[in-house]
A and B are shown apart, each in its own frame.
Chain A
Amino acid sequence: QKEVEQDPGPLSVPEGAIVSLNCTYSNSAFQYFMWYRQYSRKGPELLMYTYSSGNKEDGRFTAQVDKSSKYISLFIRDSQPSDSATYLCAMSPKAAGNKLTFGGGTRVLVKP
């Protein structure tokens, strides 16, 4: 079993819809949770960064962490074709170390 599980997709949604992404993990030591967006042949771009359980909102993006269920989510509201990319969840047991464990990534396609 992988430490971090993420559905590879592809996830296809119409423009304007809500994109819902999630990851599950098995290591209870993970405390820091991140979501990255990666366009083809580019480096990952940090979207959201959260610590422990709870919600965090930034513009059209909302990240949720449920440590009791070992489950994290990312929601993208009012999706745009430019949101089409691969979304990677990542997590770490501590901030200072920053050895991230990544999910496999979910490919998202937003159709105009």
Chain B
Amino acid sequence: GAVVSQHPSWVICKSGTSVKIECRSLDFQATTMFWYRQFPKKSLMLMATSNEGSKATYEQGVEKDKFLINHASLTLSTLTVTSAHPEDSSFYICSAKPRDEKLFFGSGTQLSVL
């Protein structure tokens, strides 16, 4: 299957700082990538759809200025959590799909804000 690489796998930061998470499609080009958030023992909640060369589409209730998404190339999307606070601590997962219909996920990033 297709490979989606996500980095870092975990990050600890101080409250008020910003954190950037990268999502790369390693063996295919992805015009669209998706960012999810997952709380412990809960399912994935879609945060936003990242579109190459244009603005991301955010789901209802997700703060655009808090979660900045940049999809500068066909193989890279980044999610920046700005001015992070403890309530932003969560597991963030990206996904992307090749030309066929199947969606593949990255390995996730555990963010802990102190």
Q: Mark A residues whose CB is within 8 Å of B.
A: 6, 8, 32, 34, 36, 41-46, 49, 88, 95-96, 98-100, 102-105, 107
Contacts and interface: CB of A to CB of B under 8 A. Distances in A.
Interface in B1-23: 1, 4, 6
B73 to A, nearest CB: 19
Which residue, A42, A88, A96, has most C-beta atoms of chain B within 10 A? A42
Contact of A32 (B4, B43, B101): B101
B107 A42 contact: yes
B107 A98 contact: no
15 contacts: A41-B108, A41-B110, A43-B93, A43-B95, A43-B105, A43-B107, A43-B108, A44-B93, A46-B102, A49-B101, A49-B102, A96-B101, A99-B34, A100-B46, A107-B41
Nearest to A89: B43
B46 A99 contact: yes
A46 B101 CA distance: 12
Contact of A43 (B6, B42, B46): B6
Contacts of B101: 32, 49, 95-96, 98
Sorted nearest first, the 9 A-B pairs with minimum C-beta distance are A95-B101, A43-B105, A102-B43, A104-B43, A43-B107, A43-B108, A44-B105, A102-B44, A43-B106
